[in-house]
Amino acid sequence: MRFGALGRTIHYGNIPLGSGRPGAVRAPDEIRFRNEFADLGFSLRGTGQFGSDWTRYRPCDETVQVTCELSLLPQLTPDIQFAANADGTVAERVRVDVDYDQTREFEGANRVNVRYQGLPGELLQRFDVGDVDFSLPPSRFLTEAVPAGNFGFQAALQAGPVGLRSVWAQQNGEVTSRRFRLEGSGRGHARADTLVLDDADYVDGQFFFLFDPAAFFDYPHVDVLALSRSEAPQTVTPGAEPIQLYRSEIDLYARQQVEGYIQADGFAGTGADTVAESAWFRYLQPGQDYVVHPSGLWIALRSPVGPGELLAVTYITESGDTIGTYNPERTYLEGGRPRLKLLKATSAQHQPGRPTWRHEMHQIYRVSSSGDVEPGSVDLTISLGEESAGRTFARRPNGDDLTYLRLFGLDEEAPADRIDPSQIYRPALDSFEDQPPVSGTFIVFPTLEPFADPAPLRSLPIDTVEARRILGANRNERIYRDPDPFERENGGVFRLNLSYEVRGEGLVSSFVLGAVGIREGTERVTLEGRPLIRGVDYVIDYDVGQLTLLDPETLLAANPGRFLEVSWEQRSFFQVAPSSVFGMDARYDMGDYGAVNLIGLYQTESELVRRPQLGVEAGAVGLGGVNASLDLDAPLLTRVLDAVPGLDAGGPSSIHFSGEAAVSLPDPNTQGDVYIDDYDALNARPLSVQSHEWRHGSRPAFVDGAEGVLPPVLSEATVAALTWQHTWIQEGVGGDSLGVFQGFSPSTEIDQQIRVTGSALRDPALFVRFRPESGDVEGPGGWSSITTVLSPTGSDLTKSDFIEFYARDGEFLTLVMDLGIVSEDAFFVDTTGVANGIKPIVNLPWGQGVLDQEADPRRGEVWGRT
């Protein structure tokens, strides 16, 4: 039986909103309170429903896990929702700004703020409750730690030159922003973006050498962007004849002749270490399917090859040698079988240490799939682990600090602490086609395995031995040399933290925000500080994250070089652990000389689950720092300059000083506990409690470890009759059956930390009982066993950490668990007390030593009788 929700909408009030807040939508009949103390408008709307749910199951369904104990009265569930708006001032000191609606899908679209504004000269200058924005002074290290979308308290005090601000708030949403730099008269723009890569995220299957790079004179420190033909012997470098590149793209079972395909044998390596694979190959068109580097020594593919695909080449070297069968189509049409040199084998053969592995480059990282990235805008920081908590520098034996950016060879040119533009590769620049075959922007390290074997640094100088010594135990060879693909792909140690700008051409009217699922009404759009109005200046597609200006010519015709800034709150595809922040900012203002700031932050992350697993435990971080910016007059410097013959200072001199010191104190686990498993069966292999899934078990071969509970001899004389069941019949007062029930154990008894509202749930259970006595009565020692199959095809349990189960009652019973490979010869004793015999009529043996049904159904001897 089920009663649906019954109710009617109840209007609690409808007092329209006032006009104090710009852009507020007024109700048709505005009501405001105005007197000498306040100017306040507000509205309150609400709906309410009362519903009940009364459900009964017969028999009780264990998969639904609903209790079989039905209360007499249904549980009433009220559903009350309201919306409130308020705007105005009270006593000219308190500002109210409330826009709250429970019916909104996303809480981040609500706004609640009450602000007290002090008068000049008062100690308390400002006090905010609700949505607060805690902006810190400019800081290189600490500003990014403040979460956006905060809800809490904020206070600001001022006593002479000393100012103090403090905030305590909880992050109330994930706020993202993007900035577009518009150029000219709005016919071009640059979009800022960020990217974080692991050192294991090098590009796969797209960049290949035409020969084994070990042939290079400077191997392994080869800067592929600066290569020339003279850096490898003529016996391997391609000559004047063009290379011929082939790719396998159809399965071997498709052996029919297909136009454009040839069947060939690919090979790589020599002697015992040879890889040979046959496939159907398609000829790749130069300039369409791939590009050749100006050196002629390596190629970049338009479409990366997959794990099961082959890439092969044939060419004539500068010395006149032929690699593979040149012009293989001719050989194939004449009935021959051409041979091609493999650059990439299938995934099983393309592994570290195999002949084709070194042909593929592993030092190239993709910045963007667009070739319009501004090279001068690319900013790269390499950190050991996460940038917020990891180091960005290594220490030399002489005590000097060396940034990882420079250690890995990407910062050899001026200016310092910036990636060299020469290490940024845009293949489109090497192509004269309108549609270049290879697009994108890449960072290329000047050595083949940068994170395992850094290149020597010319600018310091540091040779390769010292570079490896500086890197020390952080050398990451696993991402290049581990034979297990999973270990290579997940063996990252360093992080590449990138920021860059992507340029667009043409009249700008639409902007892709790079986000999907934007919360409706949370965007804030400004053009050079001027707020834009949705529906008047722009429209936005919240689902795909695209903003379109309605009149771009008018909006963008004023000032060139302006910025369009967009911020929004994004829906979280996964639940994000709420974080709280306590911050304090003290400032000492020295007037024209500058200021000194003292900053402190403590940010904590709450737990998402009651039993956090390893890697998702709640953490915290404390940040502190001091920064100063001083401008000091330097009359002595002016006099010195004026004293130099022929030199005139032309005005007073000054010295500008700025500096910052910061400290980070992370606490990765605030609770001090972590669980290998959450005990909620998310990563567990459950065992069935259905009686038909269990059978009589075999007799243990030995009793080691259970001598105190098992009889000394496990035989027919000591075996006990055993029944097991997961359902039972409940009888009424007169003995009549009330139905078949299952699900006996309340969830709160299994886990006492569970708190249940409404009807209590019961978990299914398997009842095991010895005959004739139950487990509640102590009797003579006996034994019996039942078994179930963990997996019909086998299962690896060598990495299992624990077994979890719940048992109740049975004070005189002991549960013994036997895991592993157990005998399938069940120990069954028939009604006459024997474990072996001859089946009548068929005259076949049964019992011990015979893998059969054991029980005889015609005699009532049924497996798993319930």
Structure tokens at 430: 């090497």
Selection from 29-33, 75-79, 206-210, 347-351 with the highest mean pLDDT: 206-210
- State the Cα–Cα distance between residues 378 and 496, nearest whole angstrom: 12
The token pair that represents 797 in the structure block:
């349990």
Structure tokens at 486: 């999973």
At residue 200 the predicted structure's pLDDT band, cuts being 50, 70 and 90, is: very high
pLDDT of residue 316: 96
C-alpha triplet 435, 437, 440: angle, nearest 5°: 90
Helices (H) and strands (E) in the chain, counts: 8, 46
Looking at residue 14, its pLDDT comes to 36
Token pair, residue 225, equals 């962007």
Q: Dmax of the chain from CA atoms?
A: 130
Place of tokens 């009359």: 635
Q: What is the pLDDT of residue 157?
A: 92
**102-123 residue pLDDT tens:** 776 556 567 788 999 988 888 9
Note the pLDDT of residue 357.
95
Task: Give the angle 739-743-747 at the CA atoms, nearest 5°.
Answer: 145
Q: How far apart are CA 426 and CA 442, in angstroms?
A: 6
Averaged pLDDT score across all residues of the chain: 77
DSSP class of 27: P
Give the DSSP letter string of 202-215. ---SSEEESS-GGG
Contact 344, 356 (CB under 8 A): yes
pLDDT at residue 205, as a whole number: 93
CB 770 within 8 A of CB 721: yes
Q: What is the pLDDT of residue 53?
A: 65
Least confident of 355-364, 726-735, 851-860: 851-860
Average pLDDT on 150-175 reads 82
Measured distance CA(41)–CA(39) in Å, rounded? 7
pLDDT score at 435: 65
For the entire predicted model, the pTM comes to 0.50
Q: Convert 241-254 to b/e letters by CB count within 10 Å (16 or more is b).
A: eebbbbbbbeeeee
Q: Which long-range contacts (CB under 8 A, 24 or more apart) does 664-669 make?
A: 664/141, 664/388, 664/389, 664/621, 664/622, 664/623, 665/621, 665/622, 665/623, 665/624, 666/389, 666/619, 666/620, 666/621, 666/622, 667/619, 667/620, 667/621, 667/622, 668/617, 668/619, 669/617, 669/618, 669/619
Half-sphere exposure of 622 (CA within 13 A, CB side): 4
* 405 band by pLDDT with thresholds 50, 70 and 90: very high
**pLDDT of res. 362:** 96
CB atoms within 10 A of CB 571: 17
Going by pLDDT thresholds of 50, 70 and 90, the confidence category of residue 21 is very low
pLDDT band for 267, please (50, 70, 90 cuts): very high
Strands (E), 249-363: 261-270, 273-283, 290-292, 298-301, 311-316, 322-323, 339-344
**pLDDT (tens digit per residue) in 694-752:** 888 888 877 887 887 888 888 888 888 788 887 776 666 666 655 566 666 666 666 66
Mapped onto helix, strand or coil, the DSSP state of residue 750 is helix
Question: When comparing pLDDT for 136 and 354, which is higher?
Answer: 354
Return the percentage of the chain with pLDDT > 70, whole number: 72
DSSP letter at 840? T
Nearest Cα neighbor of 407 from 472, 488, 480 is 472
DSSP three-state, residue 585: strand
pLDDT-wise least confident of 383-397, 505-519, 735-749:
735-749
Sequence letter at residue 564: L
86 HSE (CA, 13 A, CB side): 17
Q: What are phi and psi of 330, to 5 degrees?
A: -65, -45
The pLDDT of residue 268: 93
Q: Which of 199, 198, 195, 197 shows the shortest CA–CA distance to 449?
A: 199
Where do the DSSP E strands lie in 322-408? 322-323, 339-344, 364-368, 379-384, 393-395, 401-403
Distances (CA, A) of 769 to 260, 721, 724, 814: 74, 9, 6, 12
Residue 203: is its pLDDT beyond 80? yes
Of the candidates 343, 366, 348, the residue with the CA atom closest to the CA atom of residue 201: 366
Kindly tell me if the per-residue pLDDT of 423 is higher than 60.
Answer: yes
**pLDDT band at 676, cuts 50/70/90?**
low
Cis peptide before 415 (omega within 30 of 0): yes
Q: How far apart are CA 661 and CA 141, in angstroms?
A: 9
Phi, psi of 694 (to 5 degrees): -115, 150
Mean pLDDT is highest, among 37-41, 148-152, 365-369, for: 365-369
Measure the CA–CA gap between 583 and 224, rounded to whole angstroms. Answer: 48
Tell me which residue has tokens 């270049």: 436
pLDDT per residue as tens digits for the range 58-107: 555 544 444 555 556 666 667 778 788 888 888 888 988 888 877 765 56
**pLDDT of 742:** 64
Q: 546: which strand partners?
A: 512, 541
